[in-house]
A and B are shown apart, each in its own frame.
Chain A
Amino acid sequence: MARRAPHFLLSLPALLLFATLLVTPLVMTVVLSLRLFDLDTGSIGGFTLQNYLDAIGDPYYHGIFGRTLGIAVVTTLICILLGAPEAYILSRMRSPWRSVFLIVCLSPLLISVVVRTLGWALLFGRNGVINQALGALGIGGGPIPLLYTHHGVVIALVHVALPFMVISVWASLQRLDPRVAHAAVSLGAGQFTMFRRVILPQIIPGILSGSLIVFAMAASAFATPAIIGGRQLKVVATATYDEFLGTLNWPLGAALAICLLVINATIMLTYNRVLERRYARFAS
């Protein structure tokens, strides 16, 4: 089909936006992360790799990266354990309930993270709902600390990221042919064997791609660890924020942000590679 103007011109306005507001700022951030910061005067001087050496080598930041990745891994594992069975249960529900509960499980996604995290802060506090309920029931010896703890951050992050796992596994369940499951059952397989031998192998790509999203979200989350974790329990995102708006060491903050970006991108790319190689036959 011969046309007057090339089609990609239609995407030109958006391309200009992305060149100005995505590519330029990211390049400037990389450059900033390579600049020397003078702690005494607060001025920015020549070029150096010191910020990256600090971000990777300094035990303080080392700890922050370790904690961030630890929280992200645990969050991902819990999301798999909760999200995958729930997606399976949802897919076996009858018609009106299925879409009702699918929306109930997924709609918290659309509510601001700050609001959802506030809910957990209300539940978690020393005088929060959970501890009041336990006290009223006479269970446990005194309040359980949840606010400003690892478990607290993980629980709230699981809540934020879980819908993505459900979506991902749900999508792979939709591609499944129900006749295969019927065949397995009619050939004498029990429900559990059928699930393990027929369903599970086919939803593993969904679980893997869901884990990818959940991990990336948990590793770069800001509001949830900031509110639930507080000042003491810093993660990379909150540490970056503090470098930029607290101590004003912008080059170091930029280096932390770039490290987070690189870690996230590396995990995503390797994961994708593995997914493509091992599960190419499931791609529809």
Chain B
Amino acid sequence: MNRNGPLSLLFHAFFVLFMLAPLLVIIWMSFTPESLLVLPTTRLSLRWFYAILNSRQFLDAFGFSIILGVLAATVAMLLAVPAALAVARHRFIGREAIIALFLSPLVIPHVVLGVAFLRFFTSAGVQGSFIGLLGSHVLVIFPYGLRLVLASLVNADPALERAALSLGASRWTLFRRLTLPLMIPGVAGGWVISFIQSFDEVTMTVFVATPSSMTLPVRMYHYIEESIDPLVASVSTVVIIGTFLLMLLVDRIYGLDRMLVGKGR
């Protein structure tokens, strides 16, 4: 194959540096022994990581985000799996419209969704409640899970199913022995990506979160608005490392490049 020339490799090095620079700076900064934002050059310290343990607001938000993410991803997948089964293999009137509707949260600006949820929850009397926040997260992350389950169903060879049926398998056996195993990587990968999307969401959540129901990114956003100090850098480092570990997990169960580049549309 053609090799990349030196100019291409230089461009590539610049590109990778650009993509990683902000993350590396956060990680580096979070090991500072100083009480100000100074890059540590002579001495590293875990001081600001211990400080997280004494910060109620970040600990609470962290726990809240994890609970919300786990529940939202679970509910979203419970809804997405049957929906994917319905639209992947069968043709019916309105199928295209239903798929478009299910994927629409991907193209509606999250600010608009935030405004709409705030309006809806306020008039329904559930603004600031956990159930409202959970519902809004389920809706926003639904398309991500759906896409991965759909991809694993669509990429399967339909001849397999016909073969199973012609060999006398019942509908239920077919589902249990063939469709379900085919779906599992998509469902597991979809759950993890849904969790990550819920955990990361800020633009919509900032509208509906209240001080008693605040996710970690919203808490961090409000904190950064006031001041930036090494504490928020160390919290970010924990988030970066946690996300990295989840990525390794996705890579194992579904293939990270396959999920990121995505063929399920």
Interface residues of A (CB under 8 A from B): 6-11, 13-15, 17-18, 20-22, 24-26, 28-29, 32, 82, 85-86, 89-90, 92-94, 99, 101-123, 125, 127, 129, 132, 159, 162-163, 167, 170-171, 178, 181, 185, 191, 216, 219-223, 226-227, 236-237, 240-241, 244-245, 250, 253-254, 257-258, 260-261, 264-265, 268
Contacts and interface: CB of A to CB of B under 8 A. Distances in A.
Nearest to A124: B22
A221 B82 CA distance: 32
Given A115-B220, A254-B115, A110 B243 contact: yes
Given A89-B4, A110-B200, A110-B247, A118 B224 contact: yes
Interface in B218-239: 220-221, 224-225, 228, 232-233, 236, 239
A109 B221 CA distance: 18
B219 to A, nearest CB: 9
A109 B105 contact: no
Contact of A24 (B79, B104, B120, B232): B120
B8 A120 contact: no
B23 A112 contact: no
B68 interface: no
B157 interface: no
Nearest to B24: A119
B22 A7 contact: no
Given A104-B19, A108-B23, A237 B109 contact: yes
14 contacts: A10-B82, A21-B117, A21-B136, A25-B119, A82-B15, A89-B9, A102-B257, A108-B20, A116-B22, A118-B224, A219-B109, A227-B225, A237-B109, A244-B118
Those 4 A-B pairs whose CB atoms lie nearest each other, nearest first:
A119-B22, A220-B109, A25-B116, A25-B120
A270 to B, nearest CB: 14
Interface of A (DSSP majority class): helix
Given A18-B102, A25-B117, A28-B116, A167 B123 contact: no
Contacts of B262: 167
Contact of B15 (A20, A86, A125): A86
B111 A240 contact: yes
Interface stretch (B48-56, B85-93, B179-187): B85-93
A17 B79 contact: yes
A24 B83 CA distance: 20
Nearest to A112: B200
Contacts, number: 264
Contacts of B120: 21, 24-25, 28
A241 B206 contact: yes
A106 to B, nearest CB: 5
B29 A11 contact: no
Given A92-B2, A104-B19, A129-B25, A122 B260 contact: no
Interface of B (DSSP majority class): helix
Contacts of A171: 261
Interface residues of B, number: 87
A24 B139 CA distance: 13
A94 B12 CA distance: 14
Given A17-B138, A26-B116, A122-B228, A92 B22 contact: no
A250 B119 contact: yes
Contacts of A111: 23, 200, 239-240, 243
B86 A11 contact: yes
A11 B207 contact: no
A119 B39 CA distance: 13
Contacts of B101: 15, 18, 22
Given A93-B4, A111-B243, A123-B21, 4 more contacts: A89-B11, A107-B247, A167-B262, A264-B109
Nearest to B240: A111
A261 to B, nearest CB: 5
Nearest to B117: A25
Contact of B22 (A15, A122, A163, A265): A122
Given A25-B116, A99-B257, A122 B200 contact: no
A226 B92 contact: no
Contacts of B4: 89, 92-93
A118 B86 contact: no
Contacts of B200: 110-113
Nearest to B80: A14
Nearest to B165: A1
B31 interface: no
Nearest to A115: B236
A168 to B, nearest CB: 9
A114 B117 contact: no
A6 B93 CA distance: 11
A8 B116 CA distance: 27
A125 B83 CA distance: 48
B83 A227 contact: no
